[in-house]
């Protein structure tokens, strides 16, 4: 069996070129899905009998909240790959995901605050899910800060990897302890194991948007991974050639 | 003399040589506690309500303050490098160091919390629960802040970064301890929550030294 498919991931140049093409595909796909899902959700989905039109922010809030948590898990996978196979690209991915994940966390907190004002009458309550999202934001921030403080990129990557792994073990404990501490949030709108509590005309566009946001996140992560690769390989001849051409 | 005994003797000498390191966090704790009635109100009913929580947070901050540079001097004078050459697992030595640190620097902190409790008129049964939660929870907190200290060893401009990075991980400990204090206040059973808190502390004390040793290895020589 040829190991080429595996080893080529070690080549920054191969990744840079390939990721450019993937990014293009992801970008268009995300754009189409998000336009369809958002128009459908904002314009055509039925009005909620309790919350009126204000519930429509769900088509932004739920996907970004999903992603904010999923990206931490993705980072943990990258950390394992980094420690087991010493693959530098995994570290690049970790760095890219940390920033994107923080962006999604902030977006979900802000969209939640905007949604909270008409429904709960306040921008912020110390409710379980808001609090654990806030803590998640601090975890992302810590990773970015740790990386910025250590000069050697390899060393910074490994330090972040340790922190991510410790964090991912703790995250469920944090989540459940916060939930136990206080809960007043409406129960999750979409669960993989249960039938949704919304009618299909409401959750179908949500599903389209969730998919769209996931692909958009892949687009963003690939883009920032390419930028990081270029930055780290700035002394390599292929980068100099690339920059010279541009 | 075994390595462990010599390590203990060394830590003991170091602690005796720098009594300020033990004294300063206690001083900090008492200062924070003195600020509470000044900022809030001298009303003893109000103080008794929030007193135990305030003491908990103040102890947490004081603990972070003195654990921030836990490995710094051992790192700069090369002791950590020598640890790598000993025929003991690094995680074991790190664990010992953490235990010694807890005994010399955290236990004194816990010892003065009853005085702080009296000053904030915390009821006696809550005070006893407070002491118990601190004894049970601080090993986990010490381990986590030790990890923060180890991760930021190599960077000269880290500042309080180690503290900032580790504090989110304290959430479960703080919540469980607060749960115990609330139950102690209304007089219900505290044992189940204490058991959970103890379990968390035990797991942290077993696993975190491994992560700390990985972080130390990382900062010495870069490669492993």
At A167-205, the pLDDT tens digits run 998 888 888 888 877 654 455 555 555 556 777 788 888
pLDDT at A121 > cutoff 60: yes
**A230 neighbors A239 (Cβ within 8 angstroms):** yes
B15, exposed or middle or buried, with CB in 10 Å at 0-12, 13-18, 19+? middle
Could you give the CA distance from residue A209 to residue A33 in angstroms, rounded to a whole number? 6
Task: Write down how long chain B is.
Answer: 224
B214 part of contact set with chain A, CB < 8 Å: yes
Provide the pLDDT for residue A184.
42
Q: Pick from B54, B94, B99: which is nearest to B74 by CA?
A: B94
Residue in chain A lying closest to B209 (CA): A166
Provide the pLDDT for residue A242.
83
Question: HSE (CB half, 13 Å, CA atoms) of B162?
Answer: 32
A84 part of contact set with chain B, CB < 8 Å: no
Give the CA distances from residue B166 to residues A218, A230, B14, B72, in Å, rounded to whole numbers and listed in that order.
28, 31, 26, 17
How many Å separate Cα B148 from the centre of its chain?
Answer: 12
For Cα atoms B32, B34, B40, give the angle at the middle one, nearest 5 degrees: 95
- Test B214 with A162 for CB contact under 8 angstroms: yes
Q: Measure CB to CB from residue A181 to each of B161, B175, B219 and give the nearest one.
A: B175
Q: What is the mean pLDDT of residues B90-109?
A: 92
**Distance to chain A for B144, nearest Cα, Å:** 10
Q: What is the mean pLDDT of residues A229-239?
A: 88
What band does A44 get if pLDDT is binned at 50, 70 and 90?
Answer: confident
Q: Measure CB to CB from residue B168 to each of A139, A165, A181 and give the nearest one.
A: A139
Residues of chain A positioned with their CB less than 8 A from the CB of B171 = 135, 174, 177-178
- Test B169 with A181 for CB contact under 8 angstroms: no
**Distance to chain B for A161, nearest Cα, Å:** 10
B205 part of contact set with chain A, CB < 8 Å: no
**B53 neighbors B178 (Cβ within 8 angstroms):** yes
- Test A162 with B215 for CB contact under 8 angstroms: yes
Q: Measure CB to CB from residue A174 to each of B164, B171, B218 and give the nearest one.
A: B171
> Which residues, listed in sequence order, are joined to residue A52 by a DSSP beta bridge?
A48
Q: What is the ipTM of this complex?
A: 0.88
Q: What is the pLDDT of residues B4-19, one digit of tens each?
A: 898 889 988 988 888 8
Residues of chain B positioned with their CB less than 8 A from the CB of A139 = 168
Q: What average pLDDT does the structure give for chain B?
A: 89
Could you give the CA distance from residue A226 to residue A96 in angstroms, rounded to a whole number? 9
**Distance to chain B for A133, nearest Cα, Å:** 11
- Test A149 with B161 for CB contact under 8 angstroms: yes
Tell me the domain boundaries of chain A: 16-245
Could you give the CA distance from residue B24 to residue A50 in angstroms, rounded to a whole number? 56
**Distance to chain A for B216, nearest Cα, Å:** 10
Which of left, alpha, beta for A103 (phi over 0: left; psi -120 to 50: alpha)? Answer: alpha
pLDDT at B188 > cutoff 90: no
A168 part of contact set with chain B, CB < 8 Å: no
% of chain A surpassing 90 pLDDT: 48
**B90 neighbors B83 (Cβ within 8 angstroms):** yes
| Residue carrying structure tokens 């293009």 | A24
Residues of chain B positioned with their CB less than 8 A from the CB of A158 = 214, 218
pTM: 0.89
A138 part of contact set with chain B, CB < 8 Å: yes
Provide the pLDDT for residue A203.
85
B197 part of contact set with chain A, CB < 8 Å: no
SS3 of chain A = CCCHHHHHHHCHHHHHHHHHHHHHHHHHHHHHHHHHHHHHHHHHCCCECCCEHHHHHHHHHHHHHHHHHHHHHHHHHHHHHHHHHCCHHHHHHHHHHHHHHHHHHHHHHHHHHHHHHHHHCCCCCCCHHHHHHHHHHHHHHHHHHHHHHCCCHHHHHHHHHHHHHHHHHHHHHHHHHHHHHCCCCCCCCCCCCCCCCCCHHHHHHHHHHHHHHHHHHHHHHHHHHHHHHHHHCCCCHHHHHHHHHC
| Residue carrying structure tokens 């921008």 | A123
> Which residues, listed in sequence order, are joined to residue A48 by a DSSP beta bridge?
A52
Tokens of B161: 């970064």
Q: Pick from B65, B48, B210, B72: which is nearest to B120 by CA?
A: B48
Q: What is the mean pLDDT of residues A47-69?
A: 86
What band does A123 get if pLDDT is binned at 50, 70 and 90?
Answer: confident
Q: What average pLDDT does the structure give for chain A?
A: 87
A208 part of contact set with chain B, CB < 8 Å: no
What band does B223 get if pLDDT is binned at 50, 70 and 90?
Answer: very low
What band does A93 get if pLDDT is binned at 50, 70 and 90?
Answer: very high
Task: Write down how long chain A is.
Answer: 246
Provide the pLDDT for residue A189.
57
Residue in chain B lying closest to A131 (CA): B171
Question: HSE (CB half, 13 Å, CA atoms) of B183?
Answer: 16
Q: What is the pLDDT of residues B102-138, one digit of tens each?
A: 999 999 999 999 999 999 989 999 999 999 999 999 9
Provide the pLDDT for residue A183.
54
A146 part of contact set with chain B, CB < 8 Å: yes
């Amino acid at each position: 069996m040829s190991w080429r498919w595996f080893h080529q991931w070690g080549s920054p140049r191969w990744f840079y070129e390939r990721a450019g093409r993937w990014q293009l595909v992801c970008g268009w796909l995300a754009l189409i899905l998000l336009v369809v899902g958002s128009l459908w959700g904002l314009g055509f989905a039925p009005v909620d009998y309790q919350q009126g039109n204000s519930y429509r922010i769900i088509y932004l809030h739920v996907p970004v909240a999903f992603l904010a948590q999923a990206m931490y898990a993705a980072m943990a996978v990258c950390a394992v790959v980094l420690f087991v196979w010493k693959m530098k690209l995994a570290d690049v991915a970790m760095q890219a995901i940390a920033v994107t994940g923080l962006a999604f966390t902030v977006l979900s907190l802000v969209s939640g605050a905007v949604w909270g004002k008409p429904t709960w009458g306040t921008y912020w309550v110390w409710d379980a899910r808001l609090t654990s999202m806030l803590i998640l934001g601090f975890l992302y921030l810590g990773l970015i800060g740790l990386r910025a403080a250590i000069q050697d990129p390899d060393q910074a990557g490994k330090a972040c990897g340790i922190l991510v792994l410790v964090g991912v073990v703790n995250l469920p404990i944090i989540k459940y302890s916060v939930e136990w501490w206080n809960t007043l949030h409406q129960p999750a709108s979409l669960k993989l194991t249960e039938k949704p509590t919304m009618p299909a005309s409401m959750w179908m566009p949500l599903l389209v948007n969730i998919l769209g946001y996931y692909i958009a996140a892949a687009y963003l992560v690939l883009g920032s991974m390419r930028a990081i690769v270029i930055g780290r390989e700035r002394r390599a001849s292929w980068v100099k050639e690339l920059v010279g051409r541009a | 003399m075994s390595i462990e005994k010599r390590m203990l003797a060394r830590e003991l000498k170091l602690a005796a040589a720098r009594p300020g390191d033990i004294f300063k966090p206690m001083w900090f704790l008492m200062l924070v506690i003195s600020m509470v009635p000044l900022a809030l109100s001298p009303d003893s009913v109000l103080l008794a309500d929030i007193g135990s929580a305030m003491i908990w947070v103040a102890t947490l901050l004081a603990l972070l303050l003195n654990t921030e540079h836990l490995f710094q001097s051992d790192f700069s004078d090369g002791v950590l490098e020598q640890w790598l050459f000993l025929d003991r697992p690094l995680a074991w030595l790190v664990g010992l160091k953490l235990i010694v640190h807890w005994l010399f620097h955290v236990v004194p902190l816990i010892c003065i919390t009853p005085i702080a409790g009296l000053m904030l008129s915390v009821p006696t049964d809550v005070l006893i629960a407070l002491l118990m939660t601190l004894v049970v929870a601080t090993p986990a907190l010490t381990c986590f802040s030790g990890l923060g200290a180890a991760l930021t060893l190599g960077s000269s401009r880290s500042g309080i970064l180690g503290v900032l990075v580790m504090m989110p991980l304290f959430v479960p400990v703080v919540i469980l301890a607060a749960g115990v204090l609330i139950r102690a206040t209304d007089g219900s059973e505290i044992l189940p929550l204490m058991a959970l808190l103890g379990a968390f502390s035990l797991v942290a004390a077993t696993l975190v030294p491994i992560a700390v040793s990985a972080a130390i290895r990382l900062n010495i020589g870069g490669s492993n």
